[in-house]
Amino acid sequence: MSAPQRNFLALATGEVGSRVLGFAATALLARRVGADGFGILGFALAVTSYLIVPGLSLQDVAAREVAKQPSAVARIASGVVRARILLAILQIAVAYALVLLLPKPPATRAIVALSTIVLIPLSLNTSWAYKALERTTLVAQSLFLVQLVYLVGVVLFVHTSSDVGRVPVIQAAGEMAAALMLLPIARGGWVASSLREGLATLRGGALATVSRYMRALTVTGDVVLVSILMSDRAVGLYSAAYRVCFLLTAIAVSAHVVFIAPLTRARDRIDDANAVLVRSVHLAWLAVFPLVIGGMLVAPDLLAFMFGEEFRDGATAFRLLLASIGEYALQGAVRNVFVVQNRMDIDARINGVAAFLNIACNLVVIPRYGLAGAATVMVLTEMVVLIATSVVLVRWGWRVPVLTLWRPTVAVVPMSLALLALPFALPVAARIAMAGGVLLITLWMLGEWRVATSGLRPND
């Protein structure tokens, strides 16, 4: 098994383990605060996500620099942390001023404002440096710690809808615990680094920031518009569906991130770099596609099992959002090429067009078709991004690895038949487990284990 794949297994295991805890906390939270309270939290999360974007863009650029200069990791990390702290303080100050303009009740505005405190622990988080060095075990443990703190906090401090305001504080506490666990990688770099160097890195990520903002408008713009054009309950149903999709997104991102370092090393050798891209796309599809199809087949029961019976009404939107995650699993791997080639200008243009289409279509569709319309727009938007990124890569001489995906795709058929054949009276968890066993057997029969665990080219 190659190093990127070992890193993916470590990171994905941490993601899955942490998300299982997160699911437990989210399910308990949804049951205790109801769809309306959950909708308020979903709206606050969507708004806060726009503030997180610059820090994430800075991480992309800094991770690329660490991959190029591994010995300078402490200096780079400490400079980036300084820049992110300053940025977070400015963002919180501006957010507190702008939140007063939100067309929402005072209680909702207060929760949105309180949610911005998570920017402080996120600015201290150096997981990006560990990923760039392909040291993902500690990152996986930190992910688990975040959700463990979140679960314990919800169990102890959130009991009714009146406790919704405590949730942002609990989330910030979990992120702070993880940040402190990872911060030692910057030890020894505080003297050698400077705020000016960190700000220079931030400026270097300007295009990446624009691209991520466009991406954030695409991913969370529908949540904001649902909140404005519909009700808190509708946002709650939609946010619950998104919470499940976040797990699949996290798994896909793990498959993307662990290949940035080998792709950076091979960026000047097109054949070797293309081999890395093929492996990244294949791994993302193998990890995500069966979950997408399985989730679509058991959508109503899965939502009811996780969040309560009232969340069944979000099943149609949930199925469509899952389909969009399958598209993201492919285009996210392709986007790595833009990162390592320092062509985020193209990425920004593609995501800008996608964001415009997403918002324009949602303004027309949501009032008429509701949650299903918003989710359909998301599917179409992700398809536009996938096609556009693939076209650019083909023009650059890269090979889009479509034919290599046939094994994971075919393996889903027996799994799907098993899900449909199993009695609906069985608990949804039991049906998923049995169908998962069928999937594993099918993958083994198709020789997928050999393909999935084979090493990359020696130079990668």
Q: Cα separation of 382 and 397, whole Å?
A: 23
Least confident of 284-293, 401-410, 448-457: 448-457
403 contacts: CB under 8 Å, gap ≥ 6 = none
- On whether both 199 and 232 belong to a single domain, the answer is no
Helices 406-421 and 270-297, interaxial angle, to 10°? 10
**Does 305 reside within a domain?**
yes
Give the global pTM: 0.72
- On whether both 404 and 287 belong to a single domain, the answer is yes
**Does 193 reside within a domain?**
yes
**Does 49 reside within a domain?**
yes
Residue 165, burial from CB neighbour count under 10 angstroms (0-12, 13-18, 19+): middle
- On whether both 126 and 230 belong to a single domain, the answer is no
**Does 174 reside within a domain?**
yes
Give helix then strand counts, H and E, for the chain.
18, 0
- On whether both 174 and 274 belong to a single domain, the answer is no
134-186 tens-digit pLDDT: 777 788 788 889 889 999 999 999 998 889 999 999 999 999 999 999 888 87
- On whether both 370 and 259 belong to a single domain, the answer is yes
- On whether both 256 and 181 belong to a single domain, the answer is no
- On whether both 196 and 244 belong to a single domain, the answer is no
243-269 tens-digit pLDDT: 888 778 877 777 776 676 777 777 677
Domain ranges, residue 319: 226-460
- On whether both 76 and 156 belong to a single domain, the answer is yes
Residue 173, burial from CB neighbour count under 10 angstroms (0-12, 13-18, 19+): middle
195-236 tens-digit pLDDT: 666 666 666 666 667 777 777 778 788 888 888 888 888 988
Domain final position from 174, 204, 234: 204
**Does 448 reside within a domain?**
yes
User: 406 pLDDT exceeds 80?
Assistant: yes
- On whether both 131 and 196 belong to a single domain, the answer is yes
User: 315 pLDDT exceeds 90?
Assistant: yes
Residue 307 has, within 13 A of its CA and on its CB side, a CA count of 30
User: 460 pLDDT exceeds 50?
Assistant: no
- On whether both 92 and 239 belong to a single domain, the answer is no
366-396 tens-digit pLDDT: 999 999 999 999 999 999 998 998 888 888 8
Bin 187: left if φ > 0, else alpha if -120 < ψ < 50, else beta: beta
Name all contacts of 294-297 with Cβ < 8 Å and 24+ positions apart: 294/412, 294/415, 294/416, 294/419, 294/432, 294/435, 294/436, 295/244, 295/248, 295/319, 295/322, 296/322, 296/323, 297/416, 297/419, 297/420
Q: Which residue has the tokens 């959002």?
A: 321
**Does 417 reside within a domain?**
yes
User: 12 pLDDT exceeds 90?
Assistant: no
**Does 235 reside within a domain?**
yes
Q: Cα separation of 271 and 398, whole Å?
A: 8
Give how many domains the chain has, as a whole number.
Answer: 2
Q: What is the separation of C-alpha 374 from the centre of its chain, rounded to a whole number of angstroms?
A: 19
- Strand segments (E) across 231-278: none
pLDDT at 86: 87
**Does 210 reside within a domain?**
no
